[in-house]
Amino acid sequence: DYDKGVLHPRVIAATMQAAAARGLPTVVDPKFRSFFAYRGATVFKPNRRELGAAIPGIDLSSARALVEAVGRLQVENLLLTLGAGGMVLVNRDAAVPPHLIESEAREVYDVSGAGDTVTAWVGTALAAKATPIEAAEVANIAAGVEVAKRGVATVSPAEVLAAHRGA
């Protein structure tokens, strides 16, 4: 969702309802205008700036505030990307502690496309029956590969596997 007007609220609602009816996971990388339109999303993936703009005054370092944000958004999981700080996965169940995924130290060449890489890899992993934590962990590795490339780049399964193995 790039706030270009293609994803009209009715399209978003119909798509979310259709996915829920079929038991399909939904992964959303929201932008400001439609930020609260994705109720029921499996994984809702804003970055720090986007979440802060949508929920002014939120303490992004507070686990409690992040759990409250999940409730306010009415999603299953919030995957908040933190740039060089990695990402944190927050489940709607307050009894499940937030899961911090640290970024791996590597040379960053260009961060363009990193969020899209995370979204794509989370969706792919969920479609392959990964848990949200597993999906986020794999996506974190993929994002680390992507930022080491020039411009918006694709990341292959072989590259993710090599990065995971430390090759």
Catalytic residues: 116
Q: Is 69 exposed, middle or buried (0-12, 13-18, 19+ CB in 10 A)?
A: buried
Residue-wise burial string across 139-167, b where 16 or more C-beta atoms lie within 10 A, e elsewhere: bbbbbbbbbbbeeebebeeebbeebeeee
Are the CB atoms for 50 and 31 separated by under 8 Å? Answer: yes
Q: What is the dihedral of CA 81, 140, 106, 162, to 10 degrees?
A: -170
Tell me 47's DSSP state: B
User: How far is 104 from 163, CA to CA, in rounded Å?
Assistant: 10
What is the C-alpha end-to-end distance of the chain, expressed in Å? 34
State the helix-helix crossing angle for 132-147 and 114-127, rounded to 10 degrees: 150
